[in-house]
Amino acid sequence: MLCMMDARLRQIKNCENEFFGRVNVLLFGDLLQLPPIKRSGAPVFKQPEHLQPATHLWRLFTLCELTENMRQQGDHTFIDILNALRVGELTTQHFSILMGKLLQDTSDEFAIDKALRVYPTNQQVNDHNSAVLNLYRNNGARIYKIKAQDQLVHATRNADNVDIATIIPADINKTGGFTIGT
């Protein structure tokens, strides 16, 4: 990604011998939220084979770490659990606190058809959705499946019939470096 940014900025700024075309680049993010490996199994910090000759551009950056947690201010237990969780070092005490937050009573505002649920897998989401639909069916509700198609109403032309090549320039110098259709 950095190699592509570097090459494009060099081209745009006509500074072929200067990193990032002498443009200051700021990157934001939580480094611990990056997956430790790519789907291919290669570590994220390892340069992809086809870019091996390229400079490790990330070394040109200076890390400015934000150290004050603004979201969970005052809740030191929660901060401690989140910090341990993000590096995979939950203690027995952390785990016990989290398990104590599980709801056993699924009535009132936590009823199956009222409360928002978050699941780690699509299968669990599908199972929950099926359970909610079955609950409604068992209570006499009729469930309809509607096959719908979006269409423009009162438009001067149909977007499906527009040739995208006539709208978006193919010349990378006119698209900000974003490639179209590839």
* Model confidence pLDDT, tens digit, residues 107-125: 777 777 777 787 888 899 9
Q: Is the dihedral of CA 103, 105, 108, 113 positive or negative?
A: positive
**pTM strictly above 0.85:** no
Using pLDDT thresholds of 50, 70 and 90, give the confidence band for residue 181.
very low
Q: Is the dihedral of CA 99, 105, 106, 108 positive or negative?
A: negative
What's the 3-state SS for 9-78? HHHHHCCCCCHHHHCCCCCCCCHHHCCCECCCCCECCCCCHHHCCCCCHHHHCCCCCCCCCCCCCCCHHH
At 6 the pLDDT is: 87
Distance CA 64, CA 29 (A): 11
Domain boundaries, the chain: 2-60, 70-102, 103-141
